Structure 1
Amino acid sequence: MRFADANSEPTGTPSTSRPVTRRRTMARLLGVAALLATTALGGLGIGAAPARAEDEIRIGVIYPLTGAAASTGVELKAAAELAAAIINKEIPAPAGLVAGVGMPHMKGAKIRLVFGDHQGNPQVGATEAERLITSEKVAALAGAYFSNVTATASQVAERYGVPFLNGESSSATLTQRHFKWFFRTTPHDDLFVTNFFTFLEDMEKKTGDKLRTVGLFNENTLWGNETTKLQVKLAADRKFDIAEKIVYPAKTTQMTSEVQRLKASKPAVIMQSSYLGDAILSMKTYKELGFLPKMLLANDAGFNDSEFLKTMGKDGEFVISREVWALDQADRNPLIRQVNDLMKQRSGVDFNGNSARAFTAIAVLADAIDRAGATTPDAIRKALQETDIPATGLIMPWKGVKFDADGQNELGQGLIVQVQNGQYATVWPFDVATKPVVYPMPAWDGR
């Protein structure tokens, strides 16, 4: 923007029109300063006016787009982009989906996603969050899949006073920090780990077998470490024995010694938290060393990534995993299939629990911004606090979305699925199961 010199007349005004006074000069300086301040603050979403029809609403999205989890990041990005395309009416919206479609209270402003790549590194995630806020002038942030990255990126958002909506990270402590600007739609690991032990107790009743010896095998970032603590506590509370507890280095390139320890402890069940590369490596090592428990209970993440079954084939069969989404629940909720079909058409893959949560996060955030009718941080935060989306408006098998005082969705629920014939089938809770559990896991050479 070009401004006239404070001691000259505006362009096109004769210099002889009236004399320049000290008062007029000061007024001009104050006016220029006010305009510059308004422009700068508006760029950060502070004091911004309601959007005009030609405006775009910039949302920063932070995912692992390069590095070991890049294939996961690509699917998360595709899911977020699908949500934006539906919101922007680039493709028809399935009836009943709550996603701020058309942004009517924002006069038709378009959502623009601005992506950051955290590479699986918490410090890079924090840097990307700051870049998106200060340089890209985003109104809100979403991401970041890795719990340890979400922790650092959301700290930056908290410092700047920018809403951060997390769709995929499950470390329970993320919503125990009492942050003002942090919201999470997905259930957390406290619920998921509790579900595992309840599932094992239900399986004991169904089979008559004792499943009381458990091996823990978790990666050592925030997510895996917190999961281990929860598992140890709940095992004691529910009277399960920990046969072996291993917390291995994330992104390790070999697991031989760890798997040998697991095998020697002879657990009936393995509970495992691994991202994609580690999940694949562990399964290959189990087979090489001839180790096979009665059940492998995976904590989602790498075991539910589309690349896992592409790589493992039949060796990935019969893994049981906690989940938040399943395609076979479409008979109970038609939106699941309708939106999944759009995902398949655009990206060539079905949703999984990771990508379905990424889609839902953008949809929930857009709905809040539309209801806010403005892109100011306080307006978006207030709208998020007032969110009350029914189950019928979601593609998730939840009771809805409604945030508590710490920003945690109170209405999320978990499923347990098992890989059967190359598909993830819901096996628990038993009243919504579409397939019975294949138990115990068939031998490696019997598949």
Structure 2
Amino acid sequence: MLHRVLGKLAVTGCACLIAFSAHAQQEIRIGVLYPFTGPAASTGAEMKHALELAADIVNNGAKDIPKLPFAKGGGLPNLGGAKIKLIFADHQGNPQVGSTETERLITKEKVVAVVGAYISNVTATSSQVAERYKIPYLNPESSSASLTNRGFKWFFRTTAHDELFVRNFFEFLKDIETKKGIKVKNVALFNENTQWGNETTKLQTQLAQERGINLVKSISYPARSTQLTSEVQSLKAANPEVLMQSSYLGDAIMSVKTYKELGFLPDMVLANDAGFSDTEFTRTLGRDADYIISREVWSLDLAKNNPLIKQVNDLFRARYNIDFTGNSARTFTGLMTLADAINRAGSTDPEAIRKALVETNIDGANIIMPWKGIKFDDKGQNVHGSGILVQIVDGKYHTVWPFSLATREIVWPMPKWESRK
């Protein structure tokens, strides 16, 4: 009799344990760290939308897009249909806040991984916290080259980085000389002075020297400046043919307004993405944003080569009435990559997720980026990330380089302010 009772208790206890484990797996808590207030809040809002769409596809499906991973919905199949739960944190563009919020996500919210944080110097500090706690950190957008040179085991970046992007600028200048007959001799640099902008300045200076291009001016301005009048006056006096610029949204908008106010316009502005690819940039500036060329990683017109781009963008537009940008498309891809790793791990154990990320090998046909795929090297850098250049014309972004992918001819030089309608 006692044996029967113990046996019954053992069976009951086992059933309770199984029920508890199944219940525990119904929610996969992922921390997402972005700027939801401050100068980059508009960018953060678009990234939040992209994260929400990705989580919804994993949880509920997108049955009309069978080529998209998790299109069947129903959660993560290898974890019994567990659903993703996003835990949002606002770093405000502040590295210290980013560190504090990452620690809160890990210790208080008990997230199994962190996605973030767009702004490179915030990504640098927040990922240090994740490394200390041994929690996987997936970075979809930050392009500071040094982020994957720190010897971290828990940091993974899906986007390409500035060393590649800056080289693209100079390859582009070489191509327009040999294929379009446009020779650029004098270039100025205008970059914000956080980690991202400072590293970009060093790379641009090095490559200009190697390529025999004359740097007539190099200005690093304080990020979040309230005015840029004196800096723009200095640029105007230097009279460059091309201006290479790295600015987040608020600074990007203010600088273009100041260019027009002071009558400064080189033959071309080559922008280093960030604020120049935000929907708010073209919405705020209207025609004044036209003709700027920006490095990018995504463009809607590339759907001609990959129908998945338009199919997923249609979902995004139907829900939020905006198109993806390079920023939000990368964020979407980042969360989908992390979801793929957690599913393959079949576990919420951080080490199992980390190992699955190391083994990631996603084909380019199954992502919305114009990349060969996603596969990380021993530094956590996606070896298949690549870049394009887009030009704004009539408020829309058009791929203009590489020329093999171009959907329209480059407008060069930029029409002067007084000739624009």
Name the TM tier (shorter chain): over 0.9
User: Alpha-carbon deviation of 1:98?
Assistant: 2.9
TM-score normalised by L of structure 1: 0.88
Asked if 1:446 is matched to 2:419, the reply is: yes
Pick one of 28, 46, 49 that aligns with 1:75: 46
User: Alpha-carbon deviation of 1:331?
Assistant: 1.1
Q: Answer whether contact 1:419 1:425 (CA < 8 A) is retained.
A: yes
Secondary structure in 1 matching 2:92: coil
Asked if 1:231 is matched to 2:204, the reply is: yes
Partner of 2:255: 282
Q: Answer whether contact 1:304 1:352 (CA < 8 A) is retained.
A: yes
User: Alpha-carbon deviation of 1:238?
Assistant: 1.3
Matches within 5 A, 1:163-242: 163-242=136-215
Asked if 1:374 is matched to 2:347, the reply is: yes
User: Alpha-carbon deviation of 1:420?
Assistant: 1.0
Which protein has the larger Cα radius of gyration, Structure 1 or Structure 2?
A: 1
Secondary structure in 2 matching 1:432: coil
Pair 251,199 (structure 1): closer, same or farther in 2 beyond 3 Å: same
Matches within 5 A, 1:88-107: 88-89=59-60, 91-92=62-63, 94-98=65-69, 101=73, 102-107=75-80
Q: What amino acid does structure 2 have at the position aligned with 1:321? A: S
Partner of 1:55: 26
What whole-Å deviation, never above 9, does each CA across 1:38-69 have from its counterpart, x for those lacking one?
A: xxxxxxxxxxx976586200000000001111
Q: Answer whether contact 1:52 1:107 (CA < 8 A) is retained.
A: no
Partner of 1:123: 96
Partner of 1:362: 335
| Structure 1 residues not aligned, in runs of 5+ | 1-48
Alpha-carbon distance in 2 for matches of 1:379, 1:239? 49
TM-score normalised by L of structure 2: 0.93
Q: Answer whether contact 1:53 1:108 (CA < 8 A) is retained.
A: no
Matches within 5 A, 1:150-169: 150-169=123-142
Aligned residues: 400
What whole-Å deviation, never above 9, does each CA across 1:250-297 have from its counterpart, x for those lacking one?
A: 000111110111111111100000000000000011011111111100
Alpha-carbon distance in 2 for matches of 1:437, 1:153? 39
Q: What amino acid does structure 2 have at the position aligned with 1:317? A: D
- Percent identity over the alignment is 63
What whole-Å deviation, never above 9, does each CA across 1:191-241 have from its counterpart, x for those lacking one?
A: 000000000111112332320211000001110001001101111111111
Q: Answer whether contact 2:363 2:372 (CA < 8 A) is retained.
A: yes
Partner of 1:85: 56
What whole-Å deviation, never above 9, does each CA across 1:393-439 have from its counterpart, x for those lacking one?
A: 10000010000000000001100000011110000000010011000
Alpha-carbon distance in 1 for matches of 2:271, 2:360? 31
Secondary structure in 1 matching 2:138: strand
User: Alpha-carbon deviation of 1:99?
Assistant: 5.0
**Aligned alpha-carbon RMSD (Å):** 1.5
Secondary structure in 2 matching 1:216: strand
Alpha-carbon distance in 2 for matches of 1:403, 1:197? 26
Q: Answer whether contact 2:25 2:79 (CA < 8 A) is retained.
A: no
Alpha-carbon distance in 1 for matches of 2:308, 2:66? 8
Pick one of 293, 306, 309 that aligns with 1:333: 306
Asked if 1:384 is matched to 2:357, the reply is: yes
Alpha-carbon distance in 2 for matches of 1:256, 1:324? 31
Alpha-carbon distance in 2 for matches of 1:53, 1:148? 35
Partner of 1:424: 397
Q: Answer whether contact 2:144 2:162 (CA < 8 A) is retained.
A: yes
Pair 93,178 (structure 1): closer, same or farther in 2 beyond 3 Å: farther
Alpha-carbon distance in 2 for matches of 1:418, 1:398? 20
Secondary structure in 2 matching 1:356: helix
What whole-Å deviation, never above 9, does each CA across 1:10-65 have from its counterpart, x for those lacking one?
A: xxxxxxxxxxxxxxxxxxxxxxxxxxxxxxxxxxxxxxx97658620000000000
Q: Answer whether contact 2:267 2:413 (CA < 8 A) is retained.
A: yes
Asked if 1:258 is matched to 2:231, the reply is: yes
Alpha-carbon distance in 2 for matches of 1:112, 1:53? 12
| Structure 2 residues not aligned, in runs of 5+ | 1-19
